[in-house]
Amino acid sequence: MTNAEIAAVFEQIADLLEFQGANPFRVRAYRTAARNIGELTEPLAEIVAAGDRDLTELPGIGQDLAEKIVTLLKTGSLPLLEVLKSQVPESVLTLLRVPGLGPKRAAALYKKLQITTLEELRQACLDHRVRELEGFGSKTEENILKGIEAAIQAGQRILWYEADQIVQSLREHLEPTAGLHRLVPAGSYRRGKDTVGDLDFLALADTPDPVMDRLATFRGVKDILARGDTKMSIVLQNGIQVDLRVVPAESFGAALQYFTGSKEHNVILRGMAKNRGLKINEYGVFRGEEQIAGREEEEVYAALDLPWFPPELREGRKEFEWAAAGKLPDLITLDDIRGDLHIHSTWSDGMATIEEIAEAARARGYQYIAITDHSQRVTVANGLNAERLLAQWEAIDRLAKKWRGFHILKGVEVDILEAGGLDLPDEVLKEADWVVASVHFGQNQPRDQITRRMIDALKNPYVCAIAHPTGRLLVERPPYEVDIDAVLRAARDYGKMMELNAHPRRLDLDDVACAVAKAYGVPIAISTDAHSVSGLDAMRYGVMQARRGGLTRADVVNTRPWRELKKLLPKYRK
């Protein structure tokens, strides 16, 4: 099983336990384990197979959970989950996908209104029966109605990082096939979209049958939908469809270009080919009956006097305009990153000490990090009041003497309060090196109110950036109502930055907003929001999102060496 699948099991156990009113500490243990496993980049399957490390060394994993991980890896199932699922109708689990509903409210709907499906929930809202329940009300009923469509979509797509784990498992399984020369994933996965609906693979092989035979033996196969001479479709246990196409060498590049997409990009490309008297499809580029290109993507584009487009840019937005002007951006890469500016430690709700984080960052070649633990308003995350925050900064000053050429910024993630203003006084914030302001409460306020709260935060002279600006949680919670364009313009006007939160469940700003920020000249900080050492590895997801927004190294503040970044910080600008 992949880490994402194991994390999903623990998250589902937590939901079911909370649905049944179990001990909150037990629920929290499973949620913490799910979060930490989801942040791991090293496959748990490899750790267990090697047998030289104790899983209890991982953050948030005790002996009981370690044993359950081993059971999952060996058997693919967990008795506790099966018992819990037998106690709750399977259809009820779909209610848990409605943003903001949560296990406790889902349990109330099930027990008091006998609601078991999304359609029953929709009808109950339309009949105004939900608002009559204690703890709900008309506003909650209205939000549930809005969230039902998101819940339906959530069941149809998975996060990119979850898809990535499946892709890597499939590649590991298929690549030993005799006679297989190339195997490349395509589709929205290759373009780096934040969520993925299905997976496409293109293969170059001596004959199709061996690679298709091997696909049929993949451990995650639930059903084989179809198998032809050169194409095979399967469905995995998690409901994701995988399409494998075995294509000839002379068409491989054309097929890769075609099945990478997007639809909008390909429509423009076909129109350009038609204007030149050419035809372009998955088999190649043709002048009449003559194939003039197709083996590699580069020659497909070159046949139309176009540069090769990075897959992340192929959305039919500005890529062709940039190409015509000779200004196709040199997109940012992971190697460009010099530091991480949003990290949580054990001082609030993180799982690693500041020293452990610093050592891990130095091992990644970083020149600096910012420790940005929560402020006091986030009590559930052990947020810091002014006294504790100043004590932390003193500890950072002492620790910083340990290294030369590496800098720990004294930071904070300060809450933007529901009524406006910040969670800490200016006399404290002015002593910080790096301040990110964020909305955690009052997310259902009207659009104008949330927008005004953010803009007022940007006006504060000590705030450097807005963290996860739209508050979305992919396939879980839609963005809150905010005029992000107005916020970006305010960031430009007040000389502030915006965060691209790299956590794979956030990726916030999204790619479109990143492109708008670039157009306004607003610098972007790609930060991981890491709560553990392994969480630092999420930087790659943020970089991929930045690439989709057309960002270059110059557009991102934490590509700068320390001596240049320092000049951008309010404390040092003085």
225 and 292 in a single domain? The answer is no
Residue 86: which CATH number?
A: 1.10.150.110
For residue 205, what pLDDT is reported?
Answer: 97
Calculate the CA 462 to chain-centre distance. Answer: 28
| Per-residue pLDDT tens digits for 12-40 | 899 889 888 888 889 989 988 998 888 77
pTM (2 d.p.)? 0.85
CB-CB neighbours of 365 under 10 Å: 10
DSSP codes joined into one string, 183-194: EEE-HHHHHT-S
18 and 113 in a single domain? The answer is yes
For residue 71, what pLDDT is reported?
Answer: 93
Residue 415: which CATH number?
A: 3.20.20.140
CA distance 181 to 204: 5
Residue 204: which CATH number?
A: 3.30.460.10
Give the residues of the chain that fall short of pLDDT 70: 153-155, 574
Q: Which of 222, 246, 270 is the last residue of a domain?
A: 246
Q: What angle do CA 524, 526, 530 make, to 5 degrees?
A: 145
Task: Count Cβ neighbours within 10 Å for each residue of 45-84 and write b for 16 or more, e otherwise.
Answer: bebbeeeeeebeebbbbeeebbebbeebbeeeebebbeeb
For residue 96, what pLDDT is reported?
Answer: 77
Number of domains in the chain: 4
162 and 113 in a single domain? The answer is no
Q: Which of 271, 306, 324 is the last residue of a domain?
A: 324
Q: Which of 246, 278, 293 is the last residue of a domain?
A: 246
Residue 329 belongs to a domain:
no
348 and 317 in a single domain? The answer is no
Residue 539 belongs to a domain:
yes
Range of the domain at 30: 3-154
**Cβ atoms of residues 376 and 423 within 8 Å:** yes
Instruction: Give the up-direction half-sphere exposure of residue 511: CA atoms within 13 A in the CB hemisphere.
Output: 19
399 and 301 in a single domain? The answer is no
298 and 344 in a single domain? The answer is no
146 and 7 in a single domain? The answer is yes
**Cβ atoms of residues 437 and 396 within 8 Å:** no
Residue 313: which CATH number?
A: 3.30.210.10
